Amino acid sequence: MPLENAVHLCVDMQRIFAKGGVWETPWMERILPTIVDIVARHPEGTVFTRFITPASPDEAPGQWRPYFERWRVATRNAPGGAQLDLVPELARFAPPAAIVDKPAYSAFFRSRLGGLLLDRGIRTVIVSGAETDVCVLSTVLDAVNIGFRVVIVEDALCSSSDQGHDALMTMYRLRFSEQIDLVTAEGLKDMWRPERESLGTTSAIPCCSATYLKKIPRERTMAEKDLNELFLDTLKDIYYAEKHILKALPKMAKAANSDQLRAAFEKHFDETEGQVERLEQIFEMLGKAARGKKCDAIEGIIDEGKEIMDEYAETQALDAGLLAAAQAVEHYEISRYGTLKAWAAKLNMPDAVKLLDQTLAEEKKTDEALSKLAEQAVNYEAAA
C-alpha cells in the first residue's frame, strides 16, 4: 500500500552510539548506509531525534538520577557529552531535515512533535534508528498511542542486543499487526516515492515540511544571520542562568526567616522549572541541543546572595538582603526575556514569542510580589 502523508523519524543516530562512542551499538555501522539512502531520497521528509543527556546526574529526575550516576561519562559535562551530535553521514542532511532533541527514550515524551505532525496532516510515521529495544521501542509505542500508522524499516534498526532486537521484531508481528507494518528498505522505495512537480522536473516536493522547527532560510542578509546567532547565544545565556537559579532558590528559601519570603522562593522555584521547559521547547524549534553558555552576570548576582546569607545569617536584616538579591535576579531575567521576545518577533518565530511572553509575564508578576513583600513586611523587620 503506497504511503501518503508520511514522515521518516530517524531515532538517535548519534556519535555516542556509533563506533567508539560511550554507548557503542555494534550494528549501527551496518545499517547506516541503508538509513543514508532513505534520508537522501526524502531529506525534507525526515526528522532526526537526538537523546540529550543531562549536564550532570544531579539534574536528572527520579530514577534517571541513579542511571546517570552509573553513566556519568555520558552526561553533557563529561567526555561523552561531546558525542551527542548526529553521525556526520546524516548531519549533512540537516537542514532541510529537522532535528528534535529529547530528554528520555521516546521522541514524543515532553515534546510537541506528535501534535505538530498531526496539525500538518501527517498520519504515518516511518521509523529507523537505534536502539530497537530502547528508544525505538518507546517511540514506536507512543506513536501507536497517538494514533499514527507506524512503518518500521526492519533492516534500518540496530541494537546492542541481538536477542532484544529479535524479540521486538516478533512482538511487533504478533501483537501489533493492525497498527505496525514491518518493511525492508527496498520495499519502502516502492511504498514511499518522492512526489514530482507537475512540470516533470526531478526535484522532490517536501513530504513533511520541517518549518515547525526553526528552519533557516536559504538566503538571509548578514544582519539576519547575526541576529539568529545572537538569539541563540542569548538563549544559551538565560538557560544557563535559569539552571543556576534553580540551584540557588532552595538555599535561599531555607535561609529565609520570613514564612512569606520562603513561600515566595518556593513558588518561584516551581515557576522556574516551567520556564526551563519552555526554553527547551525553543531550543527544539531551532533544532539545537538545549545547552547553556556561562553567564558571568547571573553568577555574580547569585554570589552576592551567598555573601548575604553568610554575613547576615541569624539577623533581622537577612531577609531584606535576600529579597534584594532575588529582585536583582528578576530584573536580569526580565531584561533577557524582553530582549529575546523582541528578537523572536523580528525573526518571525511566533511560537517562541508566545513562550517567551508567558515567562516574561511570570517574571514581572514575581518582581511585583517581591516588591510588595518588601514594602509590607521584610524591610520593615530589618529596620526594627
Q: Go through the domains of the chain in sequence order and give each one's CATH number.
A: 6-191 (3.40.50.850), 222-383 (1.20.1260.10)
Banded pLDDT at 234 (limits 50, 70, 90): very high
Share of the chain above pLDDT 70, in %: 88
Read off the pLDDT of residues 291-303 as tens digits, 9 standing for 90 and up.
Answer: 898 888 888 888 8
Among residues 339, 332, 330, 326, the alpha carbon closest in space to that of 234 is found at 339
The predicted model gives 95-112 an average pLDDT of 86
Read off the pLDDT of residues 1-49 as tens digits, 9 standing for 90 and up.
Answer: 678 889 999 999 999 999 888 898 988 999 999 999 999 999 988 999 9
Per-residue pLDDT at 307 exceeds 90: no
The predicted model gives 107-126 an average pLDDT of 83
CA gap 157, 324 in Å, rounded? 55
Per-residue pLDDT at 250 exceeds 50: yes
**What's the angle, vertex CA 88, arms to CA 84 and CA 93, rounded to 5?**
105
Q: Would you give the DSSP letter of residue 287?
A: T
Q: Which residue has the higher pLDDT, 380 or 163?
A: 163
pLDDT-wise least confident of 187-196, 225-234, 295-304, 322-331: 187-196
The predicted model scores a pTM of 0.53
Q: Would you give the DSSP letter of residue 21?
A: S
What local confidence, expressed as pLDDT, does residue 204 receive? Answer: 25
What local confidence, expressed as pLDDT, does residue 194 receive? Answer: 63
What local confidence, expressed as pLDDT, does residue 80 receive? Answer: 63
The predicted model gives 118-142 an average pLDDT of 90
Q: Which residue has the higher pLDDT, 253 or 383?
A: 253
DSSP string, 94-146: TTTSEEEEESSS-TTTT-SHHHHHHHTT--EEEEEEE-TTTHHHHHHHHHHHH
CA gap 181, 243 in Å, rounded? 42
Read off the pLDDT of residues 324-383 as tens digits, 9 standing for 90 and up.
Answer: 888 888 898 999 999 999 998 888 788 889 999 999 999 999 888 888 887 765 444 545
Per-residue pLDDT at 92 exceeds 70: yes
- Cell (9 digits) for 241: 542562568
Per-residue pLDDT at 182 exceeds 80: yes
- Cell (9 digits) for 94: 540537516
Q: Which residue has the higher pLDDT, 49 or 116?
A: 49
When the pLDDT of each residue in the chain is averaged and rounded to a whole number, the result is 83
CA 302 and chain centroid, separation: 26
pLDDT-wise least confident of 5-19, 73-87, 95-109, 232-246: 73-87
pLDDT-wise least confident of 79-88, 124-133, 170-179, 219-228: 219-228
Residues 6 or more apart whose Cβ sits within 8 Å of residue 139: 9, 11, 49, 105, 106, 107, 108, 127
What local confidence, expressed as pLDDT, does residue 68 receive? Answer: 93
pLDDT-wise least confident of 121-130, 162-171, 218-227: 218-227
